[in-house]
Each structure stands twice: as structure tokens, then as C-alpha cells.
Structure 1
């Protein structure tokens, strides 16, 4: 109840608590499953708006959001859960959260980030795989976090990138431990046992 009062949804009166106008609008929107209106209403609550603003700019973990906002873990988790309910563009990648970019980035920018992530991962020893071939699920996770993309966004951009950059190849592992390129084909967003290779 204290949380509802703090959010402006309820107010104390002589007999206990009553719903405010904002609270009435909130519960009507919830009843009608109007998540856009719920997001608008909740945006009047500063902690919600603050976390929404942060995740619209960068991916963050719960601990990072706690450090930035000064909220405790329960408060941050509540705002994250509300955002996850109200917004279709809310993304969860591992233990990090973000709000998806409104527009896909330019291909050149995507390639730049893709190359940076590939080179960074290429410096690490990867068990069971040539360093030249980096598991694409690892690359996709890092690129999506950096650019606030969904995996489907990543797949679309990678497909477009392969059409204009022949030195970027996606390979799929065969039973005989060989690789065959699937460049210029629709890239399935299930990247299990797939690898990316960037030729010099």
C-alpha cells in the first residue's frame, strides 16, 4: 500500500485509503490490458521514468541500476518488472536489460561494432574452435547489448551485412567437424553450433 501511495495511485483518507484519479486510470488501463496507457501513467512516477530513460540509452544489470538510481534491489526489480509488462520493446539478455532501439542502426555502424566484438573475442582462447571461428551466439549477445538490439534485429542486420561484405562469413558445424558457408542465405536466429569468420 505504501508503494501505491508513493506512486500516486492511492491516497490516505479518514477511513483508510482511496484510489486517486491516477489510480483509477491505472486500474482501468490494467483491466483493459492497455499497456501503452499504463506506460504513460507509470512514466509520471520518477523512479520508473528514470530507469526507463537509462535502459533507453544503454543496457544495464540490476546492480548497475541500483548504483545509478540509488534505489534498493526491491525497488529496481519492481520497476524492471513493470517495464517488462508495459513495453514490447523491453529486452532481457542474460542478466542485463535494455529497451530496444527505435530504429535499426546504419549497416556501417553495425559492421564497426561487429568487428570490434569479433576482435575482442578473438583475443581469447576458445575451447574446441579455431580462434578464427568465433561462436556466433557469443558475438550476437555482445552486439545486441552494445546496440540495444533483439536477436531478430541482429539476424536481419547480419544478413544485410553479408550481402555487401564478402569477408564476413557465417559457418555451421557439420558432424565431420568441417564447416560450410551459409553466406547470402537467410540467417537463422538459432545460432547453436554456428560460427562467424571475418577474413582479413
Structure 2
């Protein structure tokens, strides 16, 4: 094949490849946005929940989002409907959702709290939780979920599931929860919840 024809073919192939990339990239965001529409019905616009029983999912790290969805899929995380919903998404779709919500801003819930209990909770968090939930429970970098400003009712249910082994925690987390409960009882968990709800 003449050199000129080879150059023309290569140039055409390169142009088509670049064109397909430029077309595919913008479509990624709209697709993720469309997938997210089924989430915002319960979790609120951009993943910021308006209801105390449903957690906000905006701002979660992609890793934690995927970890949680996998937990719903395999039944390790108890749920009413999330198991069925999670199983409806492919691995690729779950990744798209994770990346989409990770770019959204976590909006702390406006809710009542007891200032005295919140101060006690701050000390307990520092002692039992800070190593994995840094910055008072608001760091995203830990890939461990956001506690600060999350809805109290949801957190109370999640803590109860962990404490009663209905939901499996990591070994270190379970040890810390058991130690906290042995030393402070339910009042310790209540103080923690008031601390997280105080961060608005």
C-alpha cells in the first residue's frame, strides 16, 4: 500500500477515535444524572435527604458508596428495599453513581440537640471514634461515611444494628463499640448522637 494511502488511513482512524472520545465523555455525566434520579426520590436532591430516617448520600467517597452498595447487594447490610435496588444496578452503573454523588456537597441536617450531651459526645468521639472518623466525623478521606451532620434517627438505627451484630462491623470498630457500651451504656451512644447532630 502506498505511503500516502497509509497516512490517509491512519489520519482518518485517529480523527474518528478522537471524535468518539469527545462524544462519549460528555454523555457520561448525563447518564449518571439519569441513574441518580431514582436515588433522589428518597435521598433528596443531589443526595441531600430531607427526611430523618433516610441518610444523605451527597459527598460520600466513591469507595464508601460502592462498599455500601455491595453490602446491600450481598445482604451484609440489612435493609427494607435497598437490597433490591442495589441489585438492580450493574457494577458500571454503581461506579457512575458513586462518582456522581461524590462530587455533590454534603449538607448537614438542621436538627435539635442537647448541648450538654453534645459536649460529652465530643469527648467520647475523640476517645473511641476519631481514628477512623476524623475531623469530628466529617472527613470524607476516611472512606468510612460521614457522621457529623447526618440525620440522628438514621445514625441511631445504624449504631443499633452494629451493636447488636445485625450489621457486621470491622474488628476494631466492633471492639470500640463494645468497649464504649460496657463503660457508658446507652447514654454513651446517645451523647455521641447529640454530638454529631450538633455539627450544623
Verify same fold: TM over 0.5.
no
Using the size of structure 2 for normalisation, the TM-score is: 0.26
Q: Which has the higher helix share?
A: 2
Q: Which has the higher strand share?
A: 1
| Higher RCO (C-alpha 8 Å, min separation 6) | 2
